[in-house]
Amino acid sequence: MGLLLRLARQWIAGETAEQGLEQVRKANSKGILGLLNLLGEHVETREDIDATVREYQKLLDLIERDHLLSQISIKPTQMGLSVDFDYCLQNYLQVAQSCFEQGNNHLWIDMENSPYTQLTINLYTKILSKFPNTGIAIQAYLKRSEQDIKDLIPLGAKIRLVKGAYKEDPNIAFKSKKDVSDNYSRLLTVLFTECTQDNFVAVATHDRKMIELSKDLARKSPKSKYEYEMLMGVRDNLKSDLVSEGKQVREYIPYGPKWLPYSIRRIREKKSNILLLARSLVTQ
């Protein structure tokens, strides 16, 4: 576990909120905005879920206290989606209300694996109708996403487009890197073409080709409201390049003791991460 933790530390600010805020401070000093996430998913007891709601509210207070530039992003099963839909909705609404009170800050909803897709969209549309400063992640590897995006845009949705990080069945998901990238390009085009002033696009990828495409699309739709979002510990040079071009860039900064599932998804994303882990296990 020690090895894994050392590898994981590149993507994680630490175990405490203070360490998360410290990483936001570092990002802000480089002209990069923050997007804090308390690690945790599939939280099943109401006691733990209620504590999570309080932690996010505390985090929002600390962001305001320290005058930091950061939003927050939360996984639905961390707010109780696998326990009860209405309970989860109430939890999100409490945090959305705190965001609103703290300088009209924004709340993002992460997207988890496909059993939760529709529920998460249902949750999102309800939150969005009360709190317009709320966004949702949509996964380009899911075949349904084009329709989801087209349904969400007229509601004033703020959409973070990601490729998708979970193992999904080929019946519902594109599997090859090329097919996922092709769909990402297609969805990016829909977003930049169809979004209006009520919408917002977060281009959340480290893929240079997708970023170049988004720049072309933004040139053709100069009124688009958008930003780039990338993960802590991935492609820092690309973040700096975009900042120096005058683009708005935000870094997703996770923290907390429950770092394992998130870290495994990050390790799987790049062959060299898997090799690094394998090599360090062999040379132990």
Ligand X SMILES: Cc1cc2nc3c(=O)[nH]c(=O)nc-3n(C[C@H](O)[C@H](O)[C@H](O)COP(=O)(O)OP(=O)(O)OC[C@H]3O[C@@H](n4cnc5c(N)ncnc54)[C@H](O)[C@@H]3O)c2cc1C
Q: What's the rounded Cα separation, in Å, for the pair 61 and 52?
A: 14
Minimum distance, C-beta of residue 119 to ligand X, in the bound complex (Å): 14
Identified binder of ligand X from the candidate list 124, 192, 200, 252, rule CB under 6 A: 252
Catalytic residue from among 6, 9, 54, 160: 160
Q: Which residues between 207 and 246 bind ligand X (CB under 6 A)?
A: 207, 229-231, 234-235
Q: Per CB under 6 A, which region of 120-128, 158-166, 240-248, 255-263 contacts ligand X?
A: 158-166
Q: What's the rounded Cα separation, in Å, for the pair 87 and 46?
A: 9
Q: What's the rounded Cα separation, in Å, for the pair 98 and 105?
A: 8
Q: Which residues pair with 38 in a beta bridge?
A: 255
* Active site (annotated) includes residue 65: no
158 binds ligand X, rule: CB under 6 A: no
Q: Per CB under 6 A, which region of 77-85, 187-195, 213-221, 262-270 contacts ligand X?
A: 262-270
Q: What's the rounded Cα separation, in Å, for the pair 162 and 229?
A: 9
Residue whose entry in the numeric block shows the structure tokens 């080929």:
170
Q: What's the rounded Cα separation, in Å, for the pair 155 and 147?
A: 13
Identified binder of ligand X from the candidate list 142, 204, 232, 249, rule CB under 6 A: 204
* Active site (annotated) includes residue 179: no
Identified binder of ligand X from the candidate list 133, 221, 240, 273, rule CB under 6 A: 273
Dump the DSSP string for 251-279. Answer: EEEEESS--HHHHHHHHHT-HHHHHHHHH
Phi then psi for 84, rounded to 5 degrees? -165, 130
Minimum distance, C-beta of residue 204 to ligand X, in the bound complex (Å): 4
Catalytic residue from among 110, 148, 250, 266: 110
110 binds ligand X, rule: CB under 6 A: yes
Minimum distance, C-beta of residue 238 to ligand X, in the bound complex (Å): 8
205 binds ligand X, rule: CB under 6 A: yes
168 binds ligand X, rule: CB under 6 A: no
Three-class secondary structure of residue 135 per DSSP: strand
134 binds ligand X, rule: CB under 6 A: no
By C-alpha distance, which of 146, 225, 156, 239 is closest to 189?
A: 146
Residue whose entry in the numeric block shows the structure tokens 């496909």:
114
Q: Which two tokens stand for residue 34?
A: 């923050």
Give whichever of 53 and 140 is closer to ligand X, judged by the CB atom. 140
Binding site for ligand X (CB under 6 A): 110-111, 137, 139, 162-166, 204-207, 229-231, 234-235, 252, 266, 269-270, 273
Just list the catalytic residues: 110, 160
